[in-house]
Amino acid sequence: MGLKKTQAQEYAKTLFLDTDQKLTIQEISERVSVRPNTVSKWIKDGNWEKLRTSLLITRQAMITDLYNQLQVLNDHIKSRAIVYDIPDKLLKGTVVKDKQGNEKVSYPDYNPEDYPILIGNYPTSKEANTQIAITNNIKKLETETSIAEVYEVSTGLLEFIKPQDFDLFKKLVPIIDAFINTKLR
């Protein structure tokens, strides 16, 4: 059963990025059914070496970072001073002279809380959009299963079976490869 180029490339990438197995280009090409030169080209063109290095950042670390970003934003919103929408004429004041002719600025008495809140302890539209984006990213990371995770669990199962029943291991490798290929569609 042949794979479309993008599916084969995606699976080859998953195999290449598996930092536990560290398959050779030859092994990857055999499992994906393409020539080793093709895999080498994909590695170079896609900058997979750099990507493999970046995989040290785990999904859980990314989720933790997102929760921390959300907390910082929420703390900022909660702690900022409330600013009321006071008309400029009350804020500017007027210049008045006392009996000796000295000038001073006089401001009218007013209660700021009598005016609507201009900036308060609630998110601005930009902050709300940022909260939504962070929350959506967290939900996506927590709930969606990536092809890499399917691969990771599958190879973990294979590694568990390998020392116990090597013949079963050899039989399961192509079955699991086929299963992973169905997830690429």
Structural domain count, the chain: 2
Cβ–Cβ contacts within 10 Å for residue 112, how many? Answer: 12
35 in helix, strand or coil? coil
165 lies in some domain? yes
> Whole-angstrom Cα distance, residue 147 to residue 51?
15
Distance CA 180, CA 172 (A): 12
Whether residue 85 sits in one domain with residue 45:
no
Cα 31 to Cα 23, 34, 107, 148, distances in angstroms: 10, 8, 80, 16
C-alpha pair distances (Å), 13 with each of 16, 22, 26, 27, 55? 5, 12, 13, 12, 12
**pLDDT tens digit sequence for 70-102:** 999 999 999 999 999 988 888 888 888 888 989
User: Is residue 167 situated within a structural domain?
Assistant: yes
Identify the CA nearest to 34 among candidates 55, 16, 51, 50. 16
Single pTM value for the model = 0.48
Q: Looking at the structure, tell me whether residues 15 and 48 fall in a common domain.
A: yes
pLDDT of 177: 82
Instruction: Say which amino acid occupies 40.
Output: S
Is 132 domain-assigned? no
Is residue 130 domain-resident? no
User: What tokens does 3 get?
Assistant: 């794979």
**pLDDT at position 144, please?**
74
Per-residue confidence (pLDDT) for residue 1, from 0 to 100: 44
pLDDT for position 185: 58
Residue 66 lies in a domain: no
Q: Could you read off the pLDDT tens digit of each residue along the chain, which spans 185 residues?
A: 455 667 888 888 888 887 677 889 999 999 888 999 999 999 899 888 877 776 656 777 888 999 999 999 999 999 999 999 988 888 888 888 888 989 988 888 889 999 998 888 999 999 999 999 999 999 988 887 776 778 788 888 998 999 999 999 989 988 988 887 777 65
Looking at the structure, tell me whether residues 11 and 47 fall in a common domain: yes
Q: Are residues 113 and 152 in the same domain?
A: no
* Domain coverage including residue 41: 5-56+145-183
Would residue 34 count as lying in a domain?
Answer: yes
How are beta strands 94-97 and 103-106 bridged, if at all?
antiparallel
Is 62 a member of any domain?
Answer: no
Flag whether 136 is in a domain.
no
Q: Which pLDDT score is estimated for 79? A: 94
pLDDT computed for residue 85 by the predictor: 92
